[in-house]
């Protein structure tokens, strides 16, 4: 159950590429008994093609993707179900757009790590369309969500299991439990 004062919530696991959004998101979803949606799967083909070529996305490129994620969350909440979604959500305007789509019933788990750790992790991934060369542009675009309501920050310099456990404890402190 993901209720806090009787209200269902959506949770976005956010961070730059290589932070572990998918792996951690799946673990959080399992811990809360909720479905997990891979946000990258909602990218339009044109975005995937751009990123595969090492071309950073623009705000204009990202908006249709964010709207797809927002519609997915809204539909889940309308059915009376919580949901966990992975999404970089790099800028505050993106997060605010997602908050509006979810009717304000949205929390973020921000996965924070050093550039060195992120680069190392990206170098070990197999079959992902996002090249390591785009990490720098993501780090430059990132507006760290410090001080934003409904955001918990978790350091990623640990195992997937420990990172997910920390995230679940931080969410529980906000009243979101499985």
In the chain, the domains with their CATH numbers are 10-173 (3.40.50.300)
Determine contact, residues 102/75, Cβ cutoff 8 Å.
no
- Parallel, antiparallel, or unpaired for β 10-14 and 83-86? parallel
For residue range 46-98, list pLDDT tens digits in order.
Answer: 998 888 888 888 999 999 999 999 999 999 999 999 999 999 999 999 999 99
Full-model pTM = 0.89
pLDDT of residue 133: 65
Q: CA-CA distance, 11 to 97, in Å (whole number)?
A: 14
């Amino acid at each position: 159950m993901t209720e806090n004062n009787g209200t269902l919530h959506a949770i976005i696991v956010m961070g730059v590429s290589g932070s572990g959004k998918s792996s951690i998101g799946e673990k959080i979803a399992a811990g809360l008994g909720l479905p997990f949606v891979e946000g990258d799967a909602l990218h339009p083909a044109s975005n995937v093609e751009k990123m595969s070529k090492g071309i950073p996305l623009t705000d204009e490129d990202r908006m249709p993707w964010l709207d797809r994620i927002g519609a997915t969350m809204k539909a889940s909440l309308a059915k009376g179900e919580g949901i966990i979604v992975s999404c970089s959500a790099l800028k505050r305007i993106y997060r605010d757009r997602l908050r509006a789509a979810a009717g304000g019933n949205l929390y973020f788990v921000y996965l924070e790590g050093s550039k060195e750790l992120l680069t190392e992790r990206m170098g070990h991934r197999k079959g992902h369309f996002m090249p390591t060369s785009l990490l720098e542009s993501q780090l430059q675009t990132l507006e760290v969500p410090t001080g934003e309501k409904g955001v918990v920050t978790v350091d990623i310099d640990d195992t997937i299991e420990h990172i997910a456990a920390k995230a679940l404890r931080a969410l529980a402190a906000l009243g979101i439990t499985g």
